[in-house]
Structure 1
Amino acid sequence: MTATDTGPLFLVLLFPLLAAALAPLLTSALGHRAAWPLALAPAAAFAIVAANGGGVSAGQPLLFGFDWIPSLGIRFSFRLDGLSFAFALLVTGIGAAVVLYAGGYLKGHPGQGRFFSFILMFMAAMVGLVLADDLMTLLVYWELTSITSFLLIGFDHERERARRGAIQALVITGGGGLALMAGLILIRWATGLSSMSEILGSGEALRQSAYYVPVLALILVAAFTKSAQVPFHVWLPNAMEAPTPVSAYLHSATMVKAGVYLLMRLNPALGDTAAWETILPLFGGATLITGALLALAQTDMKLILAYTTVASLGLMIMLIGAGSETAVEGAVLYLLAHALFKGGLFMVAGSVDHGAGTRDLTALGGLRRAMPITFAAALLGALSMGGLPPFFGFLAKEETYSGLAGLDTRALILTGVAVAGNALMFSAAFLVALKPFLGKQPETIHHPHEGPVLLWIGPMTLGLVGLVAALGASFTHHVVSSPMASAVMGEAVDIHAVIAFHWGVPLMLSLLTVGLGIALYLAAGPVRAVLQKAVTGVGWGPDRGFDQAMGGLVRLAFSVTRWLQSGRLDFYMTTVFVIVAAALLLPMIAFGGLPTVPGVPALEFYEWTVLFMAAAGVILVLITRNRLTAIVSLGVQGFGVALLFMFMGAPDLSFTQFMVETLSVVILALVMTRLRVAVDDHRPWIQVVPDATIAVAAGAGFGLLLLAVTQMPFNAALSDFFIRHSYAIAHGHNIVNVIIVDFRGIDTMGEIGVVMVTGLAILALIRIRVGRRAPAMPDPTETTP
């Protein structure tokens, strides 16, 4: 792709961000009707992506971007191929429907403008993630999805459950983000490659690397936390505390699919190994059964759909790891079908709550006359989720069974897990689609009503797209499904699944799934009771474990903080000097870096005088009982160092040292005059000996380090640099001044700032009024009457 072609694709990344910036203003001006102009941003991004479908269908990835950190080989770069093309269409297309839906669902909400900004930022992050080519770009957008989802889940931040759900999602997915960062760094270390295009084109390089196992482990942790695999699945149902538009978007096309996307993207580089084909089916199958069973234990429509999303994600990951081309085709088709029917069903759940005032299945019924459009949208979604013809979910289920069926033990187990999970999800789908609308309307529901067009246009559109995509399956596969599967497999794949009668094992398994699903639907009440009793009997689980882990972390942090931050200055000073002494002495001792102790040099009488003065100051500090005398004696040593600088031909350093020591003595003396301290500062030997030992160790460490440095060969590279460039660049003959003013300008400015702050502190001390002095300490010799 040429540079002139990249502009429109960059707009795909920018449009949602621009809409997010304008959302509060538009909402303030137009109210809920701002949803219409705001939805134009993802719709325009969808159109731009779709316009590039021809090259993608022809197997020609489009690369665009620019250098970000050239010195590290990092680019802000993106890749549009079959996989990212399909994901980008889902993110922007369903995103437009969700924005419209949010306009009706949150009508009149005081934070609607803020919500629009959050959902559009979330959209931008997800679009960037699926298009990212450079590893660092991928990581940045990966983390942005965690942050923006945190804002969305905790949108109703005044509710404790919403705050807990947001924190839980952030902690779990944020931990996965750290694993991803480590994994990407390790990939860069192992291969020397920094982009997905290079990694996918490197063949066996990553699989043959000695770092394959740790890379695989880190990538799987990142993917499993993001896509809610057991035992990290608990954050996803708790994320239902977010408003329903968030749930519809989160579960259909965005964050929970990010982990699946990552595994699909890296399948050509990490897949086709025993570890890959063992771990993914194991965790995916466990997640499929766990999520499907927990779905039937719920009565809240959103929670039922949330747990079926967990199950669906498990099914996709199990298919990715199954190891066959047909299984990958099944994963691709199921991902597309799931995005359509799950987004629509979540919107249906929100519409039912909006029109009837509840989402509890046990309190719902008979809504089909009052809410006919919502009922139709629910049926469209459920028929596809149940895998019935002529919907796209049927194609996905047939291809799934084609990819898993076999006579070996592994194939039989995976097929059995898929049938059981799909049957459970079949019953869950029709519980959501039929139970609220059929039967008799409970007396507790008053005046149910159909929602405005903004509430039903989204689910109806997604349901109809699932139908049309299946009826025109050949076109769908040519434009979307086959290029997507080809990108996942790393080679050309042509999907042929269409709505037609094909007698064989997949159809028989489909009939078995439908039969089991109908039976579970009819026995939903007793099944729910058994499952709820089993969940209650188990008691402890990952969700409770998360609370216990967070509580333990808080207690540990409190204990460590209470120990380290005791509030005693002497403890802080002791800790600092112990660490300094250890850092100076231990490396020299451990690695044989101790210097040779030189002999006593021949000194002039004035040099001996200065050394004697400094030694006398040290002795006086040690023996004096008066704090002010000790302060002045301490300053004597500083004056001695200043004199040595002067003798060595460094008057500027000498002057600075004189000023520092003078200010130090003055400030400390002023502080002492403001404190009511005893003149005699006697301490027992049990305190003196450890302090003296630490002081001697720190002093010896600095002295030995300086000796070691001076005994090393002098490296004149830095001096030569300043000599060469001081006049040529800074136009100054005084090298020291040039270094301070030009080469170390910011550092010098910091030093000036320190001097200014010190002066202000001195001024504050001087201006303290007598009336604000601390009260005098009581005389222990006096007795209280």
Structure 2
Amino acid sequence: MLIAVLAGLIVSILYIPFGKYLKGRLAVLVALLPIGLFAYFASFIPMISNGGNADYQYPWVPSLGINLDFRLDGLSLLFSLLITGIGSLVYLYASSYLKAHPYLDRFYGYLSLFMAAMLGVVLSDNVLLLFIFWELTSISSFFLIGFNNDSAESRKSSLVALAVTGGGGFLLMAGFVLMGHLSGSYSIQEMVQSNEFLKNNSLYPLMLLLVFAGAFTKSAQFPFHFWLPGAMKAPTPISAYLHSATMVKAGVYLLARIYPVLGGTDYWTYPLIIVGGITMLYSAFHSIFRTDLKGILAYSTISALGVLVFLIGIGTAQSLLAASVFILVHALYKAALFLITGVIDHETGTRDVTRLAGLHKVLPPLAVGGFLAALSSAGLPFTFGFIGKDLIYEATLNTDSVMPTILTTLAVITNIFLLYAGLLAGLKPFTGRLPTAYAGIHLPHWLMWIPPMLLSLLGIAFGAFPALADTALLNPAAAAMINKPIDSPLKIWHGFNLVLLLSTVTLILGAVLYLIRKPSAGGLARIERFDYLSPRHLLTKIVYYSKKFSARYTQTLHSGFLRVYIFRIVTFAVLLLGFRLLTGGPVWFTPNHLSPISVYEVVVGGILIVTIYLAVTTLSRLTAVVATSVIGYCICLLFVFYSAPDLAMTQFTIDTLTVVLFVLVLFRLPPFLNFTNRLARMRDWLLASSFGAIVSLIAVQVLNQPFDHAVSRFYGENAYLLAKGKNVVNVILVDFRGVDTMFEIVVLAIAAIGVFSLLKLKLKASEKE
């Protein structure tokens, strides 16, 4: 299982040295990766359909509660088959669609990384491991959405998607940490055992808020939906893969997976129903005004995601089964429509539905595939979409938590709009009279029309023979959500009832809407007049003013002068420490705690006073450096006086090296500027004196505090026993605080690399200017 999850990651790494050899006709061989993974996961269908599960545990960081724990049940199997199955078709499709692209190897590398990340998300049984893969999906999708990096719009869309999903991921991490801390485990299955404790905890609403934030941003729920239409700037294979079956459904998967842990309460139900209901109706309404095929599919996708969140919010066994079915229904017809849109764009050079018509004469297989996908989207009888739509209506009619009439009405209106959008994308480009401009186009390579045809036919096959998927995939998926067995076979015919009536009304009204309303640029312009009220516009304004505030804040506090920074830091320290000393009671000390002052200390103290005065008054940089070095050597002598020769040698070495470096760097610089501002000098003198006085008072306070030898005794007793070292200081640095030392070494190494890069930098004359 571990190899299956990480296979995509391994392949993406191998693409760095070997990717250039897998271009052209050989690119099709890369599809063997998802095809092999699909076959592997399909082999678990018999076990899962019989109610079994498969758990895999690999130790990783046990001390932090992070293990590579994977669980394959009905829900994760459904998503795994979608990820690898549709991934296989997208890999094949892209080998022809992008065959001439110079960065085809890079595309497959990103896509393989994304596939591995999605498999990790749906198979992880540890929330921290799930979060790692979750963030990896955001990073890999950032590269995929911005794949056409020569386009400013693609770069902007990828940044927006990363910002929205990354921000939600940060909140999700906090929610996972809180859940793990309260339940005592980061294992999802162990959290299920503690679900009542978590639901009754006072922090339960906060946990839900954090988890919802991650799920809503990833699955483009209102008001975070705006990033998904912008992500359509990516090439069609990416849109078909990410935005129909995989990435955007990660948030839906998360809600379904966490349902046994946190679901089933009013705090869970009402927010999901409200957010999902608003999202599905708002986006479905917007989809009917779009004229770009990808725009239509983008908004209908957002609406479908809202439907899934809506169903999970209802939380009954019927609604969760309906969600399982609709996940598969939507993946099949939406991926098919995306791939068909890509072919249309590839052959005609446009995606504008107002200009497309009659393509069935030149692209007959795609016309059949688009027609079948549109029928499944509409929910016509004997299609899989019909079964999915009926289950949605059954779930809304039979809910007890809120008013069934309102929920059913929302579902019917949404489905009418989605029916129109599906016909617009799958039927409109192929009907009517063929424009003369498109008379010369031809059917592309079979790798570009076979994948959408297969997906469309599967939508019909599952609709005509639902037994192919119910007990094998969909019932186990719903059972994993609700954490108890479900035996509800899917049926084509449920008799003459209210559900059938609602389905008929949906079909009739959707068909009438399609016949009487023609897409136009005018309709889109009318709806765009209200963009100033859209969440995207409002967020853009917030970002604009945030940047403006940040710029002013930076200009005010960050002048670029080191002396200004030091002045502000020391001023803050003086105010803070002075306040603490004033409120902490009188400062006192006992003179007998001090050792007698020797003549050596008096002499060294005098030298220090003279050199400090010289360092702050001289106008020569070299003199200041020499005076500073004398101060360092005097400190070395003080270390020697107080029996710390190792510290003295360290100080001597560092001070000598510093003086040499200062001289090499500073001897070519001009003398110090001669400041004539007497007030500034007095200010600096007062600040320095105040800081010195406060530090002295703190030192006196420390001398009068009772000294606890517990820490030093521990290191002294255990340095040799635990670390096998006799030098206690070295043992502390290398063993007891080895992680700190390691990071200090890393910082020094990074600084050294930076300095080396600057030394080797060769700029042109224009660049130097």
With normalisation by structure 2, the TM-score equals 0.90
CA contact (8 A) 2:719 2:731 kept: no
Superposed displacement of residue 742, structure 1: 8.4
* Letter matched to residue 415 of structure 1: T
Matches within 5 A, 1:239-388: 239-388=231-380
Query: Following the alignment from structure 2 to structure 1, what is the Cα–Cα distance between the partners of residues 722 and 293?
Result: 74
Greater CA drift, 189-198 or 130-139: 189-198
Greater CA drift, 277-286 or 528-537: 528-537
SS in 1 for 2:6: helix
Question: CA 1:752/1:646 → structure 2, altered by over 3 Å: closer, same or farther?
Answer: farther
Question: CA 1:393/1:685 → structure 2, altered by over 3 Å: closer, same or farther?
Answer: same
Superposed displacement of residue 438, structure 1: 1.1
- Deviation per residue, 1:317-340 (Å, 9 max, x gap): 111112322122211111110011
- Deviation per residue, 1:412-454 (Å, 9 max, x gap): 1111111001001101111112211111011232412212111
Question: CA 1:322/1:687 → structure 2, altered by over 3 Å: closer, same or farther?
Answer: same
Name the structure 2 match of 1:189.
Answer: 181
Query: Following the alignment from structure 1 to structure 2, what is the Cα–Cα distance between the partners of residues 753 and 219?
Result: 35
Name the structure 2 match of 1:647.
Answer: 641
Name the structure 1 match of 2:766.
Answer: none
Superposed displacement of residue 62, structure 1: 1.5
Superposed displacement of residue 20, structure 1: 2.9
Question: CA 1:272/1:104 → structure 2, altered by over 3 Å: closer, same or farther?
Answer: same
Alignment counterpart, residue 428 of structure 2, candidates 408, 428, 435: 435
Name the structure 2 match of 1:554.
Answer: 547
CA contact (8 A) 2:723 2:731 kept: no
Greater CA drift, 111-120 or 335-344: 111-120
CA contact (8 A) 1:594 1:708 kept: no
Superposed CA RMSD in Å reads 3.2
Alignment of 1:100 with 2:92, yes or no, is: yes
Greater CA drift, 178-187 or 580-589: 580-589
CA contact (8 A) 2:131 2:173 kept: yes
Name the structure 2 match of 1:80.
Answer: 72
Superposed displacement of residue 747, structure 1: 5.2
CA contact (8 A) 2:58 2:68 kept: yes
SS in 2 for 1:68: strand
CA contact (8 A) 2:314 2:399 kept: no
CA contact (8 A) 1:470 1:498 kept: no
Query: Following the alignment from structure 2 to structure 1, what is the Cα–Cα distance between the partners of residues 715 and 457?
Result: 71
Name the structure 2 match of 1:471.
Answer: 464
Matches within 5 A, 1:582-661: 592=584, 596-599=588-591, 601=594, 602-618=596-612, 634-658=628-652, 660-661=654-655
SS in 1 for 2:709: coil
CA contact (8 A) 2:237 2:339 kept: yes
Superposed displacement of residue 675, structure 1: 3.4
CA contact (8 A) 2:715 2:728 kept: no
Superposed displacement of residue 154, structure 1: 0.4
- Deviation per residue, 1:487-509 (Å, 9 max, x gap): 11121112222112521111111
* Letter matched to residue 455 of structure 1: M
Alignment of 1:42 with 2:34, yes or no, is: yes
Name the structure 1 match of 2:566.
Answer: 573
CA contact (8 A) 1:251 1:339 kept: no
> What is the aligned-residue identity percentage?
38
Matches within 5 A, 1:676-691: 676-677=670-671, 681=674, 683-691=676-684
* Letter matched to residue 34 of structure 1: L
SS in 2 for 1:361: coil
Query: Following the alignment from structure 2 to structure 1, what is the Cα–Cα distance between the partners of residues 440 and 423?
Result: 24
* Letter matched to residue 703 of structure 1: S
Alignment counterpart, residue 669 of structure 2, candidates 668, 675, 682: 675
Name the structure 2 match of 1:779.
Answer: none
CA contact (8 A) 1:142 1:177 kept: yes
CA contact (8 A) 1:319 1:331 kept: yes
Unaligned runs of 5+ in 2: 760-769
Greater CA drift, 445-454 or 22-31: 22-31
Superposed displacement of residue 78, structure 1: 1.1
CA contact (8 A) 2:416 2:510 kept: yes
Superposed displacement of residue 589, structure 1: 5.7
Name the structure 1 match of 2:557.
Answer: 564
Question: CA 1:750/1:150 → structure 2, altered by over 3 Å: closer, same or farther?
Answer: closer
Superposed displacement of residue 162, structure 1: 0.7
Query: Following the alignment from structure 1 to structure 2, what is the Cα–Cα distance between the partners of residues 237 and 552?
Result: 24
Alignment of 1:417 with 2:410, yes or no, is: yes
Name the structure 2 match of 1:176.
Answer: 168
Alignment of 1:237 with 2:229, yes or no, is: yes
CA contact (8 A) 2:31 2:92 kept: yes
Query: Following the alignment from structure 1 to structure 2, what is the Cα–Cα distance between the partners of residues 369 and 653?
Result: 88
Query: Following the alignment from structure 2 to structure 1, what is the Cα–Cα distance between the partners of residues 643 and 605?
Result: 17
- Deviation per residue, 1:155-181 (Å, 9 max, x gap): 001111111111110111111111111
Name the structure 1 match of 2:441.
Answer: 448
Query: Following the alignment from structure 2 to structure 1, what is the Cα–Cα distance between the partners of residues 743 and 144?
Result: 43
Superposed displacement of residue 392, structure 1: 1.1
Query: Following the alignment from structure 1 to structure 2, what is the Cα–Cα distance between the partners of residues 464 and 42?
Result: 20
* Letter matched to residue 490 of structure 2: A
CA contact (8 A) 2:148 2:234 kept: yes
CA contact (8 A) 2:621 2:667 kept: no
Query: Following the alignment from structure 2 to structure 1, what is the Cα–Cα distance between the partners of residues 550 and 96?
Result: 44
Alignment of 1:512 with 2:505, yes or no, is: yes
SS in 1 for 2:518: helix
Alignment counterpart, residue 535 of structure 1, candidates 524, 528, 537: 528
Alignment counterpart, residue 57 of structure 1, candidates 49, 55, 76: 49
* Letter matched to residue 570 of structure 2: F
SS in 2 for 1:436: helix
Alignment counterpart, residue 201 of structure 1, candidates 193, 196, 209: 193
Question: CA 1:464/1:747 → structure 2, altered by over 3 Å: closer, same or farther?
Answer: closer
CA contact (8 A) 1:179 1:222 kept: yes
Name the structure 1 match of 2:483.
Answer: 490
Superposed displacement of residue 294, structure 1: 1.2
- Deviation per residue, 1:381-422 (Å, 9 max, x gap): 111111112111111100100010269872111111110010
Unaligned runs of 5+ in 1: 1-8, 766-785
Query: Following the alignment from structure 2 to structure 1, what is the Cα–Cα distance between the partners of residues 210 and 217?
Result: 11
Question: CA 1:677/1:38 → structure 2, altered by over 3 Å: closer, same or farther?
Answer: same
Name the structure 1 match of 2:538.
Answer: 545
CA contact (8 A) 1:384 1:393 kept: yes
Superposed displacement of residue 214, structure 1: 0.6
Superposed displacement of residue 196, structure 1: 0.8
- Deviation per residue, 1:253-308 (Å, 9 max, x gap): 11100110011111122221112221111111111111111111111111111110
Query: Following the alignment from structure 1 to structure 2, what is the Cα–Cα distance between the partners of residues 478 and 217?
Result: 34
Greater CA drift, 445-454 or 531-540: 531-540
Greater CA drift, 557-566 or 331-340: 557-566
Name the structure 1 match of 2:387.
Answer: 395
SS in 2 for 1:76: strand
CA contact (8 A) 1:126 1:254 kept: yes
* Letter matched to residue 668 of structure 2: R
Question: CA 1:12/1:702 → structure 2, altered by over 3 Å: closer, same or farther?
Answer: same
- Deviation per residue, 1:667-699 (Å, 9 max, x gap): 656766533336x94543421233233323433
Question: CA 1:122/1:750 → structure 2, altered by over 3 Å: closer, same or farther?
Answer: closer
CA contact (8 A) 1:39 1:99 kept: yes
CA contact (8 A) 1:91 1:123 kept: yes
Superposed displacement of residue 661, structure 1: 4.9
SS in 1 for 2:56: strand
Query: Following the alignment from structure 1 to structure 2, what is the Cα–Cα distance between the partners of residues 227 and 593?
Result: 57
SS in 1 for 2:360: coil
